[in-house]
Amino acid sequence: MFNIVIVEDEPIELESLVRIISQSVENAVIHEASTGKKAIQLIDQLDHIDMIFVDINIPLPNGNQVIEYLRKKTTDTKVIVTTANDDFDIVRSMYNLKVNDYLLKPVKKSILTDTIKKTLDVDEGDNEKSRALKQKVFSLIDECHYAPWHSLIFDMLNGACQVNGADENKRKAIGDFLEIVSQYVAAQGEKLAPAQRKVAALIKDVNQYGITESRYFRVMTDLLTLSEVLFDYAFKSYTGNIDFIERAKFHIEKNILRNLTLDDVAAKSFVSSCYLSRAFKKITGIGFSNYIATRKITIAKSLLQFSDLKVNTIALELAWQDANYFCRIFKKETGMAPSDYRKIAIPEENASLA
């Protein structure tokens, strides 16, 4: 994701810049400032700014002063100056502030697009991947596909934790994913304002501290809690048909870290326990209890590989009060004990966690 700030006091120019930047950089988060004061506030608030567009003739502090303030904090941000003034002295002063480019208004769309892509080194392949991820995120939530959503969460989370052989793109992917979730939440307006604050805090937390084994469980539970809010919201506004089996699966995913009983799930699915039990096995090909065990064991495997939780603690967090029973279920599902799985999945120096 790219954090891009636009400092522009003309509404029409601002709207045009936002539109062109959004089209040029698929994975951009755009922040707007109509005055120099608001621009400086954004510079102080944001963890990083990849690019800033600054109109020189903005209300005080002016564009020059905004760039000077920015440069005192960082030299990494790409700076593009936009102005109707073609005075050479202004141009020269801008370059002394390490400005990357200087564009005269009105800026043609083609010139602005080329400048953005050149300055940010935008990869069209990355743009396409971001579009696909955004479509997937929005679609999974809107269509209430809870189980695939959880699978996506763990793909992103675990990819960011891969110590051996993980490239920087996988580490970056979790940030891109969270930014897209933030875009979805923001699009829903005030109804999801609390969720917006939660995802913003999570983005800041992950960007600042990363996802270490000591923090994996907390980040995971934060994501699952956020997901519960999103899917409750989506479920209430969903207009499609959801049969009782899908309702059952939805309730299972929503309460995946809690104790789940056939009676509870059947009640949420509006059928009797006996009927749900028989129909679940017939339609899905797997028994109700085995389905829940499989879903929980998938999470257990991630916790064993990427967190520092003890085996007994993992059992409790997944609502198995008896750690021995958890170990038996785990071995039945995977063919090995949890401690053996951990030894295979993580480096030897961490094997003491078992």
At residue 350, the pLDDT reads 46
Domain boundaries, given as residue ranges, for the chain = 2-122, 123-240
Handedness of CA 246, 220, 151, 125 (dihedral sign): positive
Task: Give the per-residue pLDDT at 165.
Answer: 43
CATH no., domain 2-122: 3.40.50.2300
Nearest alpha carbon to residue 14 among 105, 149, 88: 105
Sheet containing 28-33, strands listed edge to edge, beginning at the edge strand earlier in sequence: 28-33, 2-7, 51-55, 78-83, 101-104
Give the pLDDT confidence score for residue 166 in this predicted structure: 46
pLDDT at residue 237 in the model: 87
Nearest to 139 by CA among 127, 120, 128, 152: 152
3-state secondary structure of 116: helix
Tell me the CA distances in angstroms from 127 to 169, 244, 333, one per residue in order.
Answer: 13, 39, 39
The series of mean pLDDT values per 10 residues for the chain, 354 residues long, is 87 88 80 91 88 85 88 88 69 69 81 83 66 88 95 92 56 83 87 90 86 93 96 91 94 96 96 96 95 96 95 96 94 94 73 46
What's residue 123's pLDDT? 58
Supply the pLDDT for residue 301. Answer: 96
